[in-house]
Structure 1
Amino acid sequence: MSRWKRAQQAAADQGIDALLITPGADLRYLTGYVALPLERLTCLVLPSSGDPTLVVPALERAAAVASGIDVQIATWNETEDPFALVASLVGDAHTIGVDDHMWASRVFALGAALPEADQVLGGSIVQDLRIRKDAEETVALREAGLAIDRVHQRMGEWLRPGRTEREVGADIAAAILTEHVTCDFVIVGSGPNGASPHHEVSDRVIEVGDPVVVDIGGTTAAGYCSDSTRNYLAGGQVPAEYAQFYDVLLEAQTAQREHARPGVTAESVDLVGRQIIADAGYGDLFIHRTGHGIGQETHEEPYIVEGSELVLTEGMAFSIEPGIYVEGRFGARIEDIAICTADGLEVFNNTPRELVIL
């Protein structure tokens, strides 16, 4: 059964008469079409029964056809109202599910075009499909993991004292593009900047003995994302305090990898590592969730966080990335992407998790 047919069935089961999906990961997942998020409306009209239609601007029709989509296409010209076209395709549907990332302006315009219909969030319909990767997606994520590992393996070519984070980041970004079609993010957090989990890069010059957090990722030609964090020392001696908490962090991340598998809850994976970090006296320095799902988006369901009673099942892919951050001094995070298999866990990133001294 095709993905959009499964989405139709799920929508019908929830009493949603039609789903409206605009450009983004959900549209790509359902149709294979990587639509540009332009000011002109592109929208998949997916009724709970019957054939779906992709509404596209006339000038985008060739691109949609070239993507090989298996749904019919309806086009609109510059002087036509695309929302009226969507409304005509929706018909007398009473409940409309809109994708979670639809622009607010489009939600309001669709509401005006469909005044008798109730609008609800429909993102969970597709999310519940995307959360479990099939065999083809697993291969794509495995290849993405290998691709970003190859970039980490080259870190000694670029990361050294005397260079700025920005210079190192530019070299890393170029290397990511040799392995992926896009570079999605580069974090090079040296010294005190490593204590900011989403620091990115700056003009700070890396100094001898600086611990450096390198968190990088991209998207492959298959449309699946990589994401891996490793920690490096730019020569010199490892600061004693850093070495002490790094051992704790490695123990916590190892315990989380060993615990994660089908049948355990998402929050239990978080708790296993958080407890180790807390028992060592660093609990207030682990300031974020343990992980996020990954697939056609870097961050998607499932989230590995306290309070999530979601039971992990085969096909769920996510990061395991505890961190410890000492403000004004340094920080560290160890991140792997993994997927639940039938009876365990496959980890896609396997470069050294220990501190690498360059």
Structure 2
Amino acid sequence: MTTTSTPAPFTADDYRARMARAAESAAEAGLAGVLVAPGPDLVYLTGYRPTAVTERLTVLVLAAVQEPVLVVPTLEAPDAEHADGAAALTLRDWTDGKDPYAVTAPLLDVNGRFGVSDNAWAMHLLGFQKELPGTSYVSLTEALPMLRAVKDEHELARLDAAGAAADEAYGEIVKVAFAGRKETDVAADLAALLLTYGHSQVDFTVVGSGPNGANPHHEAGDRTIEHGDMVVLDFGGLKHGYGSDTTRTVHVGEPSAAEQRVHDVVREAQQAGFDAVRPGVACQDIDRAARAVIADAGYGEYFIHRTGHGIGVTTHEPPYMIEGEERPLVPGMCFSIEPGIYLPGRFGVRIEDIVTVTSDGGRRLNNTDRAMAIVE
């Protein structure tokens, strides 16, 4: 097993800088501030991940005109005090029986427009609207879509490690028996391998055999994998708090000429998407480059999803490689390139790497062979 050193934790200064950038970006977007509920944005900005997300209000309040404040239930304050970024903010707690919205209201502009993390509970947003009827709200994905998009060197190191661990898992899974076993058996092997190679969390293990591979988000089921099946393997999770996500399509025994042809087209499309990566190029141009290859080969109608998504503290986040997204690529952005062809009732093929934008192009974070592997 390959071993890698555990990266040093992010410091209070790291979190302080992130919160300052978020507050400044909010002001530039015409917002009075940002309200961040438990979830990936809160982890990214403060290092705090509540042990249990309940109906009790927890919210980070960021605004350019004041220092960051994290409002937490009193019973959860001890945990919040030990978060990696706690030294970069002020804690304000509230006890059961008190109105948490009234406690938080003095921190907010009574007529302000605020960005709200997408996973905030509706009951909390409604609570703020009732307490401060002059306020209005917009989702952070809409208002600040690039909040977490550009990674620094420490984040890139974590993503590199996650990608390498996923690669090692793939290197082992192609050695196991496929034929005669259920999709769920192979998925369990994949999950175990991700944990073996250092993942703390397994988010998904897609194993789509034969006709199931034509469903891009097929979950591993009870179908028994047969000799002659194409099998889509899409798997990932978190290592050191950052995501992995890779897809390879293998074949049980030798493929037919038609199956090999489809795989070759997807491989060429994936390469075209990667070759298009460089600073200043619009996100949609990555989608266009990959999609053109598939369309020119006559399979355009069978490529039924976007070409890619961002990755970081979650496995899906902005930016998205999709038609209509004109935002330019910036060094440090990380995203998937994962074109596919899905032939209903027959099989599917997808090939996916995580890529980061460099100063003059792109760099893959997944480096396993993209040729079709033959498994038993």
* TM-score, normalised relative to structure 2: 0.91
**Structure-2 residue corresponding to 1:212:** 231
1:227 paired with 2:228, answer no
Conserved? CA contact 2:183–2:220, under 8 Å: yes
Of the structure 1 ranges 312-321 and 7-16, higher mean CA displacement relative to structure 2 is found in 7-16
User: Structure 1: which amino acid aligns with 2:69?
Assistant: T
Displacement, 1:22? 0.3
**Residue 182 (structure 1) aligns with:** 201
Indicate the residue corresponding to 2:303 in structure 1.
286
Once the two structures are TM-superposed, the CA of residue 96 in structure 1 deviates from its matched residue by 2.7
How far off its partner does 1:125 sit? 5.3
**Residue in 2 aligned with 1:330?**
347
Q: Deviations over 1:125-151 (max 9, x none)?
A: 553231111111111111111011111
**Match of residue 32, structure 2, among 17, 29, 44:** 17
Aligned match for 1:193, one of 178, 194, 212: 212
Is 1:355 the counterpart of 2:372? The answer is yes
| 2:170 maps to 1:144 | no
Q: Which amino acid aligns with 1:12?
A: A
1:153: Cα distance to partner?
0.7
Cα deviation code 1:279-325 (max 9, x no counterpart): 11111111111101111111111110112212111111110000011
Q: Structure 1 residue aligned with 2:132, among 114, 117, 122?
A: 114
Please give the per-residue CA displacement for 1:301-356, whole angstroms capped at 9, x wherever unaligned.
11101122121111111100000111111111000000001111110000110110
Is the 2:26–2:144 contact (alpha carbons within 8 Å) kept by the matching residues of 1?
A: no
Local SS of the residue matching 2:128: helix
Tell me the CA shift for residue 123 of structure 1: 4.2
Preserved contact between residue 315 and residue 341 of structure 1 (Cα < 8 Å)? yes
Paired AA for residue 2 in structure 1: A
After TM superposition, list the pairs within 5 Å mapping 1:301-312 onto structure 2. 301-312=318-329
State the percentage of identical aligned residues. Answer: 46
- Tell me the CA shift for residue 240 of structure 1: 2.3
Deviations 1:241-283 (A, max 9, x none): 1111111111111121112111211111111121111111111
- TM-score, length-scaled by structure 1: 0.95
Matched residues in 2 for 1:224 and 1:170: separation?
21
Q: Deviations over 1:108-127 (max 9, x none)?
A: 11111112223333445553
**Pairing partner for 1:127 from 125, 145, 149:** 145
- 1:123 and 1:290 map into 2 onto residues whose CA distance is 19
Aligned to 1:41: 57
Change (3 A) 1:92 1:318: same
Which residue of structure 2 lines up, in the alignment, with residue 52 of structure 1?
68
- Per-residue CA distance 1:199-242 (angstroms, 9 max, x = gap): 01010001112110000001112x111000011112x2212211
Q: Which runs of 5+ in 2 are unaligned?
A: 1-15
In structure 2, give the amino acid aligned to 1:293.
G
Q: In 1, distance between residues paired with 2:30 and 2:305?
A: 36
Q: Is 1:87 matched up with 2:77? A: no
Q: What CA distance in whole angstroms lies between the structure 2 residues aligned with 1:14 and 1:308? A: 18
Determine helix, strand or coil for the equivalent of 2:242: coil
Quickly say closer, same or farther: Cα 1:260–1:102, change in 2 above 3 A: same
| Equivalent residue number for residue 282 of structure 2 | 265
CA contact 1:267–1:307 (8 Å) conserved in 2: yes
1:218 counterpart letter in structure 2: G
Residue 41 of structure 2: aligned partner? 26
Q: Are 1:166 and 2:184 matched, yes or no? A: yes
Give the Cα separation in 1 of the matches to 2:321 and 2:141: 19
Letter in 2 for 1:61: A
* Separation in structure 2 between the aligned mates of residue 128 and residue 168 of structure 1, nearest angstrom: 36
Give a deviation string over 1:2-54, Cα, whole Å, max 9, x none: 11111121222233222111011111111111234322211001122111110
SS at match of 2:324: coil
SS of 2:67's partner is: coil
After the TM superposition, which of the residue ranges 26-35 and 285-294 deviates more from structure 2?
Answer: 26-35
CA distance in 2, matches of 1:165, 1:14: 47
Residue 74 of structure 1 pairs with residue 89 of structure 2: no
Match of 1:127, SS state, is coil
Question: Relative to 1, partners in 2 of residues 1:168 and 1:273: Cα closer, same or farther, differing over 3 Å?
Answer: same
Amino acid at match of 1:308: E
Distance (whole Å) between structure 1 residues aligned to residue 190 and residue 140 of structure 2: 38
1:226–1:298 CA contact under 8 A, matched in 2 = yes
Secondary structure in structure 1 of the residue aligned to 2:35: strand
Structure 1 gap ranges (5+): none
Give, in whole Å, the separation in 1 of the partners of 2:357 and 2:155. 13
User: CA distance change for structure 1 residues 323 and 102 in 2, over 3 Å: closer, same or farther?
Assistant: same
Give the Cα–Cα distance (whole angstroms) in 2 for the partners of residues 89 and 170 of structure 1.
48
Give the paired residue count: 356
Residue matched to 2:7? none
Q: Conserved in 2, the CA contact under 8 Å of 1:165 and 1:204?
A: yes
